[in-house]
Structure 1
Amino acid sequence: MNETDLHELLQVAWSESQGDWDMHEQVLHRKLMVLPLADLVDFNVIQTKRRRLAFTPLLINAAFMVWDGALGNDGFLDFTDNLSVIPNELFETLVADPDRVIEVPALWTPHEGHFWHLPFKVFDEQSRVKAGTDLLNEYLPPDNRPGDLWPRLDGHPNRQTAQNMLPRLYARFGESAFA
């Protein structure tokens, strides 16, 4: 699986689920179940890279505001996980301009979908062996693990950053999130 294949798969799943996160997870699960192991590995590596691109101070501020201040480490992982499975054009738009999260109401409600875990779950179901996590993690570079990325986000969320860099989100959500 290459990035184009992944983007097509995510676009189809997004369209079929019509913004319903639970349905999105079911559609992705169904589509991943028919992939061979090599494609599951590729999906996992590419999706992980996408999720890590979202580890930015501006996106943590955006997530904090739209989730009304209820965002800890796990919450931000959930938010970036959700970002990792949206269509590529939308993903790239939001990473480049996090203030545009205001245009995607589906991201405003906290959702713990565990999309990061889907390739592991599918591998375990296909092989009937609980080895997916260990096996698929072998293909991820060590610097792609969440613990290595948190220092980049130190000092965020930050009211001043949100006001200056995310004016539309701050106007809609900022006061209650930072209260």
Structure 2
Amino acid sequence: MDSNEWWGLVERARDAVGDRADDRDAPDDPLPGVLADVLAALEPERIAAFAVTAVGVTDSACRWPLWNAAYLIEGGCGDDGFMDFRDGLALLGRETYSQAVADPDSLADVPVVVRMSRGERGWIGYKSLSAPVTEAYRRVRGETDSLDAAVEAALRERIRPAAPQGESWDAEDDEANRRRLPRLAALFLD
């Protein structure tokens, strides 16, 4: 599955959810369930291909500046949290995702991020992409072992980033964050 088809499936789910597509809030976020519905209409091999492509898409966001943005937004962010953040960021759609990868400070314009800065509900990394994929595959095949095997086999062939790319800085250094992520710092540090 190429990235255009992958993003098309994400956008189909976002369109079906409508105004709630950016409600990245637990526990009533409708998007993961609707994405599972969209994926369940595919053949099992296509669902597995979606999972493999998801890894490639989210690997493209494995960058230190974005990790530091996630750290500011979520009040801390470890390895697993950053994986979930990138998955949740993808669920915000291709345009938001691409802008954030190119300029993590652009996340200051994303409504859920603004809500989070005010202490309101919101969490970008609430659900990983694996949850709707696994749910869809289980509906179609009645099991998920073959999904895991297919994804693992496909990923063995890929070169994946060993570490985040880009310039790194101490995520707890407020002055560095103000210089590198000024708009996010204004939301979360001031």
Partner of 1:84: 90
1:150 deviates by: 5.8
Name the amino acid aligned to 1:80. R
Aligned-pair identity in percent equals: 23
1:55 to 62, 69, 83: 62
Which ranges of structure 1 fall in alignment gaps of 5 or more residues?
Answer: none
After TM superposition, list the pairs within 5 Å mapping 1:39-118 onto structure 2. 39-67=46-74, 69-107=75-113, 108=116, 109-110=122-123, 111-118=125-132
State yes or no: 1:8 paired with 2:8. yes
Residue pair 1:94, 1:101 contacting (<8 A) in 2 also: yes
| Aligned counterparts of 1:114 and 1:97: Cα–Cα separation in 2 | 22
Within the candidate set 135, 144, 151, 2:160 is matched to 144
C-alpha deviations, 1:124-157, integer Å up to 9, x for none? 3311123122232211145438xx3369797542
Q: TM-score, normalised by structure 2?
A: 0.77
Q: Tell me the SS of whatever aligns to 2:155.
A: coil
Instruction: Give the alignment partner of residue 189 of structure 2, picking from 157, 174, 177.
Output: 174
Moved over 4 A (4+): 150-156
1:58 maps to a residue whose letter is P
Deviations 1:152-179 (A, max 9, x none): 797542524422111100111135xxxx
Residue aligned with 1:42, SS: helix
Asked if structure 2 preserves the Cα contact closer than 8 Å seen for 1:47 and 1:85, the reply is no
TM-score by length of 1: 0.81
Q: CA–CA distance in 1 between the matches of 2:131 and 2:76?
A: 23
* Paired positions, count: 172
| Structure 2 letter corresponding to 1:172 | L
Q: Which one has a larger percent helix, Structure 1 or Structure 2?
A: 1
Asked if the contact 1:57/1:157 (under 8 Å) is kept, the reply is no
Q: Distance in 2 between matches of 1:4 and 1:125?
A: 25
Provide the rounded CA distance (Å) in 2 between the counterparts of 1:134 and 1:153: 35
Confirm or deny: 8 A CA contact 1:60 1:156 kept in the other structure: no
Aligned residues of 1:64 and 1:70 also touching (Cα < 8 A): yes
